[in-house]
Structure formats: C-alpha cells, structure tokens
Amino acid sequence: MEGQRGFKLLNVFTGIFVAVLVVVPPLGSKLIAIGPLVIPGGTLVFPLTFIINGVLTEVYGFERSRRLIWIGMGCQFFAALMFWLVGIWPEAPAEQKQDAYLAILGVVPRITLGSFAAYFLGEFLKSAMMSKMKFAQGGRLGWLQTWRFVASSLVGEFVDSVVFIFIAYGGTQPIADLVKIVLAIWVIKVGYEVVALPLSIWVANRVKAVEGIDRIDRPEETNYNPFASFLKWD
C-alpha cells in the first residue's frame, strides 16, 4: 500500500524545509537593499519553503504536505524558544555580547507571532489550493501544472506577506507604507518562485518517477482541516 511504504526523498525535503525555516528569523534581523527596495534578509530564502511545499503537494499530496508544515512549525518554535532562553540567561562575566546576541537572535514577540501566523496560513492555503487545482485539472502536466504552481503561490505568498507585516509592524507605520512593503515583498517572493519554476516542475516530475507516486487528492478522501490528525503517522 502507498501509505505503508517509505519514500527515498521525503526525508531530504523535510530536512531542507526545516533548515530554511530555522535560519529565516536570524536572517530577518538584517534589512538588505535590492535596488530601491529594502526587505528583510530572510526574504531571500523563505520562498524556498513555498517551492518545497508545492513540490511535495504535487508529488505526495496534501496530507503529507500538512505533516511537513507541522514539523516545520514545531522546529521553528523550538528554535525561537532556544533563542529566547539563551537570550535571557545571564552571560558569563567575561562576555560582552549580550546586546549583539539580542540584536540578531533576540525574540521579539510581535514579529515572532506574525511569523508563525503568516507561515501557518500561507503554507496551508498554498497546499490546499494546489491540491484542489490538481484534482480539478485531472493531474495534467504542461501549462496546467505550471498554472497550479503559480496560482497557489500567488495566493499563499500574498496572505503570508499581509499577515506578517500587519501583525509584526501594524501601528508602527502609516497603513499606506505597510501596504507598499507588503506589495514589494509579495512581488519579490512570487518573482523568486517564477524564476525557479522550471526547476521546481522538473524536480517534482523527477521525484514522481523516482518515488513511483503521483498523488491526486480526491475531495471525498481528503480532509483539508489543518489540524486533522496531524499527529497521525503512516
């Protein structure tokens, strides 16, 4: 049975996915310039989570993607907890690095909450939308496959950007400025994924061949509730 056998590449994707999520918050502590745009450094790597999510949903289906999202969220929470714990721990007498540590790895509650909420909503929305589109398209390849990758990213990345910026920075800047930041980050993230699209689709189709699976989620068999049996293991 499909659900009873292991897969060669699923753990590899899980490792990369978790690694990206853990490094995004520290990278986000530095603002970088891309031409006239100023964005958090984490924007350079965070779109990889949406790319991996898309590949996994396309290949293995929504339920395995849901599991990966929860694993990633748990690891990100653990990392934030450890950053916070070490940050409040008294430093050694010879150390003079507390301010530097907090500037890079310090946990800011609003930003952390915004990051978790944006990740949760954006990732699940992308995965569910892509899964439903694949079923509606009969799992066909070519332009239809390309469109479900792009459309799900457009929606998922938009929700992610809006939720993060307005939770993390709402009230600190005029709404018009926050909207500009949201649009800038959204365009950059989606552009990132569009550029990587040929590779994403090639990887997805190659993984299908290697793993011997091309899951199409049937509505009557798929529970799209993010919390449904997330502790259940095949």
Q: Check whether 19 has a pLDDT greater than 70.
A: yes
Contact 118, 185 (CB under 8 A): no
Q: In the prediction, which pLDDT does 217 show?
A: 94
Q: What is the per-residue pLDDT across 70-129, written as a single tens digit (0 to 9) for each? A: 999 999 899 889 988 998 898 888 888 888 888 888 777 777 888 889 999 999 999 999
CA distances from 147 to 41, 138, 197 (A): 28, 13, 10
Pairwise CA distance, residues 39 & 46, whole Å: 12
- If pLDDT is split at 50, 70 and 90, which confidence band does 56 have? very high
The pTM (predicted TM-score) of the whole model is 0.85
Sign of the CA dihedral running 35, 40, 46, 50: negative
Domain positions in the chain are 2-217
| Percent with pLDDT over 70 in the chain | 95
2-217 is classed CATH 3.40.1350: no
> Per-residue pLDDT for 2 more than 60?
no
pLDDT band at 3 (very low <50, low <70, confident <90, very high): very low
Give the largest CA-CA distance in the chain.
Answer: 64
DSSP state of 92: P
Q: Are 175 and 183 in contact (CB under 8 A)?
A: no
- The percent of residues in the chain predicted with pLDDT above 90, rounded, is 43
Residue range 200-223, pLDDT digits in tens: 999 999 999 999 999 999 988 898
Instruction: For residue 116, give both structure tokens.
Output: 């978790």
Look at residues 77, 66, 96 and name the one whose alpha carbon lies nearest to residue 25: 77
Residue 101: Cβ-neighbour burial (10 angstroms; 0-12, 13-18, 19+): middle
